[in-house]
Amino acid sequence: MTPNFGEDRRWLMVMAVLTLAETAWWAISWSAGYAPMPLLGTYLMLAFSALAAAFVIRLVVRPRSQQAPWPGVIAGTLLVGVGASLFLPLKYAIPFEVAFWLDPMLASVEASLFGADLWLLLDRILGWALIPVDRIYGFWLPVQSLALFCVILAAPSQAKSRALIAYGLAWFALGVASAAAFSSAGPIFYNRIFGGNQFEPLREMLRARGAWVVLAESDAMWGALASGRPGLVAGISAFPSLHVAISLWIYLAARTLAPRAMPVAFCYFIFVWVASVQLGWHYGSDGLAGAAGMLAIWFVAGRIERAWPRASRQT
C-alpha cells in the first residue's frame, strides 16, 4: 500500500455506495417483475479484459509513470463489473416502471425550433460521412471503457479521485435515475412506440446508405423489449444522453490527468453528440441534457473530493 492510497479509497467508497444503491433499485425492480437477472460473470469478464487492454496501452504510452496500487485497481474493476451488470437490467426496466412519455414533446419542440427534424438537417450537411460515423460511434463502449481503466490505473491523486467519483455518479444519476424520470426512447424507436411515420425517412435513409451498426443494435434492443428476453444488447433510453455525458467526462478527466489528449478528447465529445443525433439515437436536447448533467456532476464530485479530507481529519 502506498502513502497515497487514501486518495483511491475515496472513490472506491463512493463507487461501493453507488453499487449498493443500484443493487437495491435492481432488487425492487426484479421483485416487481420488471428487471431481469444481471449477467454478472459476463460483465466481470469484460471489465477485466478492458483493464488488461488499458494496462498494455499504459505500458506502451507511459512505461515509466507511477501506477495505482493493485489492490485498489482490482477492487475498482470488480465494482465496475458489478455496476455494469446491474445497469443493463435497470435500463431495460425503465419503460415498465415509467412509460415513455417525453419523445413527442422533444420531437415537436426541436422540429419547430429548427424547421425540420434535427437528424435531417445534419444529414444534409454530413450525409456523405454517415458510414464512418456509424462505425466509429459503434465503438463508444470500448473507447469509454479504455478511458475509464486508464484513469483507474493512474497514480492516486485528488484529480483521479474526482474523475472516478464523477464517473460513478454519472452512470447512476444520469443513466438510471434521470433516465427513469424522463423516460424516452429516441427518434429511431419513435414510430414503433408512438405510431405514425414521422421518423420513417430516418430508417429508410439508414437502410439505403448501409448504416448497419445502428440498425442492427436498435433492432436487437427492440427485439429484447418486445420479446421480454434481454441479452447483452438491451435497454432503451434516450434522455439524457449518457453517451454524450461520458464522452464529456473523458474530456474533463483528460484536462487534469492527460492534458496532451485534451484536443482529441474534445473532438470525440463533439463527434459523439453530433453522431448520436445524425444516426437517430438521440434528439439534440438529449445531448444538451447529458452534457449539462455531466458538468453539474463534475462540480459535485469536486466538492465531495475537497470535503472528504476535512471530514476524515474530524473523525
pLDDT in tens, the chain (315 residues): 444 556 788 899 999 999 999 999 999 999 999 999 999 999 999 999 999 999 999 888 877 777 778 899 999 999 999 999 999 999 999 999 999 999 999 999 999 999 999 999 999 999 999 999 999 999 999 999 999 999 999 999 999 999 999 999 999 999 999 999 999 999 999 999 998 889 999 999 999 999 999 999 999 999 998 888 887 788 899 999 999 999 999 999 999 999 999 999 999 999 999 999 999 999 999 999 999 999 999 999 999 888 876 444 443
Helix (H, G, I), strand (E, B) or coil at 154: strand
Domain holding 154, by residue range, is: 5-314
Cis before 230 (ω within 30) = no
Give the number of residues written for the chain.
315
Q: How far apart are the first and last CA of the chain?
A: 22
* Listed residue (134, 124, 115, 88) closest to 236, CA to CA: 88
Report whether 88 contacts 46 (CB < 8 A): no
In terms of Cβ atoms closer than 10 Å to its own Cβ (0-12, 13-18, 19+), residue 191 is middle
pTM of the model: 0.92
Number of domains in the chain: 1
Report whether 7 contacts 158 (CB < 8 A): yes
